[in-house]
Structure 1
Amino acid sequence: MHGVYQTNIVAWAFGNGVMSQSLVNPKQRSILFLVLPYMLQKAAANRVKSRSYLAFPYGVLSIATYLERQAKVNVNVEILDLNLYDLDDVSIVLEKTLEACKPEFVGISMMFDQSYRYVGAIASQIKSWNHKAIILLGGASATTAWDEILSEQSDVDALCYSEGEAAVSELLASSDPFMALQKDPWVTRESLKMMRRPRTTYVDHLNDVVDIDYDLVDTSVYSMKEAFSPFASYRKENDVRQFFMVTSRGCPFKCVFCAEPSLHGASMRYADIDAIIGHVERMVDNYGMNVLTFYDDQLLLDTKRAKELFRRLTPFKLRLEAPNGVTLVYIDDEMAFLMKQAGFDTIPLAIESGSDHVLNKVIRKPLKVNKIKPVVRALQRNGIFVQAFFVIGLPGEMDEHREETRQLIKDADLDWSGFSLATPVRGSALYKICKEKGYIKEDLGIGEIESNKYIIHAPDLGLEAEKITQQAYQMNLDVNFVNNRHMRLGDYETAIRCFEEVIDRYDNHAFAHYYLAEAYAALSLRPDAVIKNRRRFTELIDQDNDWRDYAASFGLLAEPASEPSPPKHAIS
């Protein structure tokens, strides 16, 4: 069946459950792993951000890989990724899969909050098929809502808190799964009654999971998407073979908006360099990998390790990316050089704010603004396109602090900036603050928090949805389009690639069309493209009042929008 993958070991994305009886034969187990739908509709371009691409179920594959080497029993596993089907077909596909594989355990992977809406109906269908089936729920979003889900989902037997590799292995090996589920990291109704707070069971050494076995899925059905960059491989290559890799877990920092410490802990754990390189060799040989995406939260923290990793990756001539962002304090001239040599053409820096007050007192991030510009220069000297991530609308951040951020972006001469609205995700300190102070709804349900909507409401602090959303997007338009660095420098080729990258993602982005026309006109190239994009800009501002208001605020409505003409950037 398309989208259903079978092997003789387990693969799923975290979970745990309460079982009402022991299974007879602990030497043979069967489990079905379901990846819940998470795909979003393509967002409007004049919203802060959204995500909508079909990624490998990495959490599922990580547990599968661990069990492939560590399982003490024979396990028959199937993986059903529901994102590969139309929502209208999910029930039928699930029914056929259950009948075909008849699993004893069903592990449901919930990595994103927007997937929660599907849990109830899917769990109910499984119990209707076989009320003895043990339903386990896990994943990042399940972990951060561990104390709420079981009261709402009567058909879910148990939940796995954080990492699932070791926990699932022990559960499947147990002759009495019910007893196994009474231990950490499992959350059951019994443990909740006892008010026992769960603790995760970590994989001590990531060598056991870093060499992901991608044969467990059909890699051809996944539409991986490179992070934003004017140098993304898909722009010049027809055959982009991109794969994920996580070489470390944990984060010692305690940024107010981040839930990472509740997922993987504060202590760092690493895969050895030899294990990483061995995996890369196999991915290149077996799959023709040419783009490697690191999803580590702290790729550079161990600087000696990071530099050695980049030295040894250089001969592979891969394109490397780190879309989670990197911590800039670990970048010196040598690190910048090695990153470029290894295959990074774009680096996103997790800066978060241009205000020392916000960084140190609000976010609790150990970074000083005066450290930013030298790192940006070091990266740019080595030919790396420098992005930065910023969070807007945190309680304690005032208008003057957001203006400091805007000025920092311009002073540091960043190539591109990404803006996120402050989101009080469960498991973060920000969520606790917002709940205690009444900045979010008391009855805010699981799945109601969306990363592209601002839900904090604190008028006394100047934090209201319309104001913060508008400020964040105006900053985006200002620094990335109106005052785009490459337009100012006369590097119109790079500017064109940036604006085309935006349009590839959001065809309805009025400013991208406007400035793409300006860049082409500055080069006296493609008058047809100049006219086409200026016409598209006019259409969009005529159709959408938000775009018209933004255009008016930056004085674009007075500019000619029909015939090519030299842009103002060509003069300055």
Structure 2
Amino acid sequence: MRDYIRKLLFIVPPVSPGNGAISRNLASYNEIPFGVLSLATYINKYCSKTVNINILDFNVSNDLAFVDKIKKTMEQFKPDIVGISGLFNSMFSYVNEFSRYVKEINPSLALVVGGAIATNCYELLFSHNPYIDGACYAEGEIPMRLLVDAENPFSLLEGHPSWITRKKISSGVTPSPTFIQDLDEIPPINYAMVDLEKYDSRCRNNNPIKHEAEDTAVRLPFVTTRGCPFNCIFCAANSLSGRKVRFMSAERVISDIKRAKEQYKMTKLVINDDQVLIDKKRIKKILDEISDFNLIVEFPSGLNVKFIDEDIAVRLKRAGLEVANLAVESGSDHVLKKIIDKPLKTADIKPAVDALRKNGLLIHGFFIFGFPDESEDDRIMTIDLIKEIGFDWSNIYVAAPLMGSRLYQIFLENGYIKDEINFLDANIYQSSLRSSEDIGKYVYRVNLDVNFVNNYRMRVGDDQLAEGYFSNVVNNHPRHAFGHYCLSMVYQRLDHDNYRSGKHMREFHEIVATDDEWADHARYFNLI
């Protein structure tokens, strides 16, 4: 019987956009805090106590200064336990800052941290944060439920193997994860705990296909698997969810999607799995069943090219996929096999792209540059592959040493990371750690090359789709010189529209005349 009310406050720090050319040109978005919602839903379902849960997400709540908003929320809500999300490296300083605010307001409550920061750098966290009482190692549903149910939360923190404390660190105790083995045990997510109108998704600004009522579309995230059997050098997913893949049953996934469509009027289904295609029988059943739901489907984390064939491509299209994001990473077999350790060959990429394109899907690729031991020849192979295969859009990133990844250990051993705290506050898509090479500038010029100067849709004469891509760019980044330049070219070719073409060309020249960085890029590509 639930005879005691526990009050739990979750705080989600802002995701830092970072600085530099790459970050300035990343599309901005506010994603629903799915991990926190999963914790909250699980706790409400399985706790023996009655639990009141409040979520304070600073990615959408900016009406007051941080300290004032936290103080106001805590004074009104009066939580017994506060959990701060530390999902990304760049949240490190926010976690420390918010921890201080919380404990200054109420020193007696239990304050805990979860996410990648808690799992992968807990020793640093405790050494720089004197306010927290515990850090959750790996997945948090079961540890958080036990914490909320405990008569004495502080004793639970010391006694449970997935909770890290200062005392355990000083005693040399190694934490261990507590995974949910059957994902069907997770209740359907209660999306009503947040204001859905304030959120969108990573894919929103990267689709040239426009729909009616786009601004009122309801995008809901789902995670239907956890764990990844692969060991890619840049990825830290294994540290949080393990290498064994755990599945939510196809029947349960279909039921949850149907429920979300009916209850929340969902129009866009966003599946954030690391390896959604790994069980082909399961994913085929899901895709077949939802093909009648009239949804737009998105896989923002990327599809594994290894598992794509004609049959899968047909089902993806029928289910509502418009843009296939492919996690390619490199056009060099040496980089894929010897550096990344990704189970993919470059020869597998074109057949997958052909199958998807045959079924009317747009193809976006994820590519990473700047790995240790990567040569200039490897990079040129990747650029050539992008152009030869004809990706509609390529997302180009710098290899980022996330804590928990093998790449982080390599960077640490090679002395690239001089100051771990400042490194943790860096945006995950940036790397200024190798001062001998301006990899950030190199990578951004690859982006300008393959997406603008040598844009695939412009090369094949599909100016209408090209216009959609470039309009997205300038709508999100009005000072994007190359976006304006390419729009000028497109409008001139589309309908000889001298007014629109001239307008964007004037914008281009005004930007390069007043911005040295854009002028440098324009000269490099002989645009001025």
State the TM-score, normalized to the length of structure 1: 0.88
Q: Does 1:296 align with 2:267?
A: no
2:472 to 479, 498, 501: 501
CA distance in 2, matches of 1:335, 1:479: 27
Q: Show CA shifts across 1:102-152 (max 9, x none).
A: 221111112223322223332223222222111111123332222210111
**Could you tell me whether the CA contact under 8 Å between 1:49 and 1:451 is conserved in 2?**
no
Secondary structure of 1:84's counterpart equals: coil
Letter of the 2:482 counterpart: F
Q: Does 1:86 align with 2:62?
A: yes
Matches for 1:370-519 after TM superposition, within 5 Å: 370-445=347-422, 447-457=424-434, 459=436, 464=437, 466=438, 468-519=439-490
Q: Does 1:528 align with 2:499?
A: yes
Secondary structure of 1:147's counterpart equals: helix
CA distance in 2, matches of 1:93, 1:399: 49
CA distance in 1, matches of 2:423, 2:433: 16
CA distance in 2, matches of 1:492, 1:318: 27
**Uncovered stretches (5+) of structure 1, i.e. residues with no partner:** 1-8, 10-24, 558-572
**Could you tell me whether the CA contact under 8 Å between 1:423 and 1:449 is conserved in 2?**
no
Aligned Cα root-mean-square deviation (Å): 2.2
CA distance in 1, matches of 2:97, 2:132: 11
Q: Does 1:180 align with 2:156?
A: yes
1:108 to 84, 89, 96: 84
Find the counterpart in structure 2 of residue 138 from structure 1. Answer: 114
CA distance in 1, matches of 2:251, 2:318: 19
CA distance in 1, matches of 2:64, 2:101: 14
2:53 to 55, 77, 89: 77
Secondary structure of 1:344's counterpart equals: coil
Change (3 A) 1:413 1:120: closer
Secondary structure of 1:301's counterpart equals: coil
Change (3 A) 1:57 1:45: same
Q: Does 1:154 align with 2:130?
A: yes
CA distance in 2, matches of 1:359, 1:450: 24
Greater shift in the superposed pair: 109-118 or 390-399: 109-118
**Could you tell me whether the CA contact under 8 Å between 1:353 and 1:405 is conserved in 2?**
yes
Greater shift in the superposed pair: 320-329 or 438-447: 438-447
CA distance in 2, matches of 1:193, 1:331: 48
Q: Show CA shifts across 1:176-231 (max 9, x none).
A: 43332122211101110121221111111222336211122222233445345334
**Could you tell me whether the CA contact under 8 Å between 2:21 and 2:444 is conserved in 1?**
no
**Could you tell me whether the CA contact under 8 Å between 1:210 and 1:275 is conserved in 2?**
no
Matches for 1:243-262 after TM superposition, within 5 Å: 243-262=220-239
Aligned pair count reads 527
Matches for 1:272-291 after TM superposition, within 5 Å: 272-291=249-268
**Could you tell me whether the CA contact under 8 Å between 2:17 and 2:427 is conserved in 1?**
no
Change (3 A) 1:476 1:225: closer
Change (3 A) 1:216 1:448: closer
Letter of the 2:147 counterpart: L
Change (3 A) 1:228 1:121: closer
CA distance in 2, matches of 1:296, 1:210: 17
**CA shift at 1:46, angstroms?**
6.0
**Could you tell me whether the CA contact under 8 Å between 2:463 and 2:494 is conserved in 1?**
yes
Greater shift in the superposed pair: 179-188 or 169-178: 169-178
Matches for 1:238-387 after TM superposition, within 5 Å: 238-387=215-364
Letter of the 1:313 counterpart: I
Letter of the 2:384 counterpart: Q
Letter of the 1:78 counterpart: N
Give the 4+ runs in structure 1 shifted more than 4 A. Answer: 43-49, 232-236
Find the counterpart in structure 2 of residue 164 from structure 1. Answer: 140
Letter of the 2:382 counterpart: T
Q: Does 1:122 align with 2:93?
A: no
Q: What percentage of aligned pairs have identical amino acids?
A: 36
Change (3 A) 1:229 1:205: same
